[in-house]
Structure 1
Amino acid sequence: MINVTILSFSDGRKRVHDTLEPYIAEQAERLRASLESAGEIKVRVAGNIVWNNALAKSEAIACLAGYPDAVILNIPVFAFPNFAMIAASLLTSPCLAIAPVNGKLPGLGGLQAATNAIRQVGLKCDKVWGNIEEDATLRRVISFLRAAHAVTRLKGQVYGLIGGRSIGMASGAVNADAWMRIFGVDADHVNQSEILRRAALVEEVRVDAALAWLSQKTGAIRYDGDKLTPDSLKMQIRCHMATRELIDERHFDFVGVKCHYDLSEYYVTQCLSAALFNDPYDWDGARQPTVYSCEADADGALTMQIMKLISRQPALFFDFRHYDKAAGVFVFCNCGAMSTWYAARSDDPGTNLKKVTLHPIINKYGGKGCHVQYVAAAGEMTLGRLSRVGERYKMTLFRGRLQSFPEEKLQESCPVWPHGFLVPDADPRRVIDGYDSNHVHGIYGDHLDALAKFCELKQIQCEILE
């Protein structure tokens, strides 16, 4: 839920304010009703309309106590601009000033004057002029609020780096100082041996129940008597439970796990964990997805966490595999870190998992266990990721549509891995040239505006490939 506070402003003369107060309160109520009708926003209206310097300070401080994701400055009249400037100087959440369309009152002038005062002293404040009941206005405001929600909720979060850099990929190295300075996110390290130690302590009855759940829900489990056996699958379940215990005990908000080649070469791959942690369910029932980045891709995990906060959906972890010129699709696949929610995008885990098959891991890996295979359901996607040069971050984004193909097409790449076939909106060469990673992350729907606004709020370069 996105928590928003509406703080309203008025004329600084008491006699004038008294005549404007009912109208200002009415506009605040219009904002509250429209935003809450969107179904993902909880609104608090400040107790007093600001019409003097003292109220500007006290109401802003009262806002801080509720720690809102964003503060909307309701300015439907020509409020004294310094009141908004004083309040903004105290607020820690992103601010958006708004005024309705009404030629009988100078709300537009008030909006311009207030945001000018705020920006003139080096503070940030977005602005929207329009009636909140209009779709275009509501969309703009909600995009801002989703971005603000991600900005605010990231502060104080902790990334659990379990293992370390995998197979030499630079994106697995966390610049902890830059993360804290830019995003307010800490990084904490745990050795992968802790997964194995805790896995050995998991009660057998819990493992048996989880295996029964997988056997019932998934489309098939392709045991081969070697790589994938009931015992190796149970070990993957144990690793999942051990990692969950680690996350809960260390209060991690999102994680990355090395896997290659320590665990995948000598024990079991972590494919089952990577898929199910990113899902809104597992054998224990419904829950919030926990972003889990395989190969300890730290910037990938941070990207997925931002995408999850903005969209309130599971985020995908893909690998660039191939561009099929004949079919006009990027072939995205990897060894198992794709949320199974994307198999059918259903609230019912059984609907998704019946399209999922657990296959023996490929011989490339010396260990044992399963890959979690399916083809992502068709639909519109927003894709991208954070990358950096030194300590300077940028986010590269593009859009596309996942397309359905028969399972036979998987034979053209790695048939036991999960796949997504994406028709990009941008020229594929533009994507290849402009995108700075082998990993790509995505969420269902069009979230370009909110992600671009997030970058603007964090003063990060945003490049949209079109």
Structure 2
Amino acid sequence: MFYKDKGTKVGLIVTMSPDETWPDSFVNSVKSYLPKAKQSLEMVGMKVFDCGKIARTNKEMAYQGEILRREGIHVLVIHVGTWTYSSTSVLASFNANVPVIVWANSNVETFGIVGGSIVRGALDEVGIKNYLVYGGFEDRRVLDKLKILCSGIAGATKLRGMVYGEGGSRCMGMYTSRIDPTEWMSRFGIDVDGFEQVEIIKRAEKYSDNEAKRLLYWMRNEFGGVEVRDDVMIAQIKLYMALREVIKEKGYDFISVKCLPELPSCYTTFCVAHSLLNDTSDDGFGEHCSFVAACEADANGALTMQILNNITGGTTMFTDVLYYDYEDNMIRMCNCGSQPTDFARSRKDVVWVTEGLREFDWVIGGACPRYVGKPGKLTIARLSRVNREYVMLITTGESLDMPLNKINETNSQQPHVFARLDCSQENFLNTLRANHIHVVLGDFKKELITACEVLDIKPVVP
């Protein structure tokens, strides 16, 4: 499960009307659009599938839609070269069974907007999600829009067929973390499965200390330091290995684990496991995956992270909104230790320290990756429900370069990201509906909005 291909698969069909009265020169012009459209989509990072020739008739369009569906595409691009019968595109789209980008060619000689606009309208008529793009193969504006739309649509459609594993039950009374498994299947195509934390502990206890010490040795060389007692690190690493085992055995695509409040008093916490699973950097087993793992059995948090991961292919953060500095319009984001280390400047800036959340009794203690997040653009998001209807908070901000001693003002053990938001304090607070929030590096606001549109989730942009 950890070596999953995270690329976006785009199906491409180039079409025009089936009329036999077209001059050969006109038909040949449209045929030339297929390799050009494919190259353009590949230029923006898409993995493109096509059937090698244009499609014009009902039969041809239906066939190509079916073939592309079998390739497991996440989005269909129908490039309309000129006038076309929109009914043919409807057949292709039904068979492809994914949202559609109608790309109307802007060559003045073939007037693709005429065919593109009617295809777009026909798809709206029959309830197929679609977007209209108009422009040339080398137009930077068009390429940027195609990249945003393909990535955003795939952020939604990649959810289909996924299996979410949840360890434990509701954590500390959090309504905002709970979901209806039937709704997830009918709405997102996600199967919700469960496993027990005691199973992870039993599996962890079967690993030898020497097996765990090998990973501990790797951590001492990989990170800036490990200040935690060996017995605590060995217990944390055993939980990590056991959780990996369950993920692979059960075929999970993303997970969450309850952990608190019972694990500190009977074993230790999952902080090492969650931090390394979420990293795109080496996970200690030579894999570079960024496997979404959320804390505190927060299903809505895990789903937010998975959508972000589907879009970016990279590391997603699970964290708390810990404090709001009104004067600087800055939020401090910090969590009990599960934050991925990819948000640090380097792993040498990460020191594993003893976790000691004051509200829990610890049988041996925990471990926490202490660091301050590196500066750069951030996208911040969170799924919530308002009277049973899903909404997603979406905003951007800038991670600030702060000295390590700044974390002493809040919690000296835990990793922090300090971010100045691109929205006002009041607007952000008016849309905040959970303690947990989720972060990726870079600006993916438009892609997230597109994903929300596909999933019929209301995007809330403060």
Measured against the shorter chain, the TM-score band is: over 0.9
Equivalent residue number for residue 358 of structure 1: 352
* TM-score, with structure 2 as normaliser: 0.95
Secondary structure at the aligned position of 1:14 is classed as coil
Equivalent residue number for residue 264 of structure 1: 264
Instruction: Verify: 1:34 aligned to 2:31, yes or no.
Output: no
Secondary structure at the aligned position of 1:300 is classed as helix
Give the AA of the match of 1:149: A
Secondary structure at the aligned position of 2:343 is classed as helix
Deviation, structure 1 residue 391:
3.4
Deviation, structure 1 residue 18:
4.2
1:278/1:315 contact within 8 Å kept: yes
1:370-409 Cα deviation digits (max 9, x unpaired): 1111111000111011111343111110110000111111
Equivalent residue number for residue 218 of structure 2: 213
Secondary structure at the aligned position of 1:331 is classed as strand
How far apart, in 1, do the equivalents of 2:387 and 2:266 lie? 34
Give the AA of the match of 1:142: K
Give the AA of the match of 1:303: T
Equivalent residue number for residue 348 of structure 1: none
Deviation, structure 1 residue 363:
5.0
Q: 1:88 to 1:447 in 2, by over 3 A?
A: same
1:76/1:99 contact within 8 Å kept: yes
Q: 1:392 to 1:432 in 2, by over 3 A?
A: same
How far apart, in 2, do the equivalents of 1:369 and 1:323 lie? 27
Higher mean alpha-carbon deviation, 419-428 vs 265-274, is at 265-274
1:266/1:366 contact within 8 Å kept: no
Deviation, structure 1 residue 144:
1.1
2:99/2:128 contact within 8 Å kept: no
Give the AA of the match of 2:114: G
Instruction: Verify: 1:392 aligned to 2:389, yes or no.
Output: yes
Secondary structure at the aligned position of 1:282 is classed as coil
Secondary structure at the aligned position of 1:16 is classed as coil
How far apart, in 2, do the equivalents of 1:46 and 1:94 lie? 19
Equivalent residue number for residue 233 of structure 2: 233
1:164/1:172 contact within 8 Å kept: no
Equivalent residue number for residue 422 of structure 1: 419
Give the AA of the match of 1:287: H
1:195-230 Cα deviation digits (max 9, x unpaired): 10000112433211101011112212224xxxxx20
Spell out the pairing of 1:174-189 with structure 2 (5 A cutoff): 174-189=179-194
Deviation, structure 1 residue 168:
1.1
Equivalent residue number for residue 347 of structure 1: none
Equivalent residue number for residue 3 of structure 2: none
Structure 1 residue corresponding to 2:26, chosen from 10, 20, 23: 20
1:32/1:43 contact within 8 Å kept: yes
Spell out the pairing of 1:17-416 with structure 2 (5 A cutoff): 18-38=24-44, 40-223=45-228, 229-280=229-280, 281-344=282-345, 352-362=346-356, 364=358, 365-367=360-362, 368-416=365-413
How far apart, in 1, do the equivalents of 2:370 and 2:16 lie? 59
Q: 1:237 to 1:363 in 2, by over 3 A?
A: same
1:162/1:189 contact within 8 Å kept: yes
Deviation, structure 1 residue 439:
0.8
Give the AA of the match of 2:215: A
2:34/2:54 contact within 8 Å kept: no
How far apart, in 1, do the equivalents of 2:351 and 2:446 lie? 35
How far apart, in 2, do the equivalents of 1:123 and 1:2 lie? 20
Secondary structure at the aligned position of 1:200 is classed as helix
Secondary structure at the aligned position of 1:136 is classed as helix
Secondary structure at the aligned position of 2:165 is classed as strand
Q: 1:18 to 1:57 in 2, by over 3 A?
A: farther
Structure 2 residue corresponding to 1:3, chosen from 1, 6, 9: 9
Deviation, structure 1 residue 157:
0.5
Q: 1:426 to 1:408 in 2, by over 3 A?
A: same
1:110-152 Cα deviation digits (max 9, x unpaired): 1011111221222222110012312211111111111222222
Instruction: Verify: 1:456 aligned to 2:462, yes or no.
Output: no
Give the AA of the match of 2:419: L
Deviation, structure 1 residue 318:
1.6
How far apart, in 2, do the equivalents of 1:86 and 1:457 lie? 20
How far apart, in 2, do the equivalents of 1:37 and 1:238 lie? 43
Equivalent residue number for residue 226 of structure 1: none
1:255-281 Cα deviation digits (max 9, x unpaired): 101110111232212111121110122
* TM-score, with structure 1 as normaliser: 0.94
Aligned-residue sequence identity (percent) comes to 28
Deviation, structure 1 residue 410:
0.8
Deviation, structure 1 residue 326:
4.2
Q: 1:15 to 1:203 in 2, by over 3 A?
A: farther
CA RMSD of aligned residues (A): 1.5
1:358/1:370 contact within 8 Å kept: yes
Deviation, structure 1 residue 7:
0.8
Give the AA of the match of 1:354: K
Q: 1:51 to 1:196 in 2, by over 3 A?
A: same
Give the AA of the match of 2:104: A
How far apart, in 1, do the equivalents of 2:23 and 2:89 lie? 15
Q: 1:175 to 1:420 in 2, by over 3 A?
A: same
Q: 1:232 to 1:31 in 2, by over 3 A?
A: same
1:327-366 Cα deviation digits (max 9, x unpaired): 441111111121101102xxxxxxx221111111115232
1:164/1:173 contact within 8 Å kept: no
2:154/2:451 contact within 8 Å kept: no
Give the AA of the match of 1:34: S
Deviation, structure 1 residue 85:
1.9
How far apart, in 1, do the equivalents of 2:212 and 2:26 lie? 65
Give the AA of the match of 2:342: W
Gaps of 5+ in 2: 1-6
1:8/1:46 contact within 8 Å kept: no
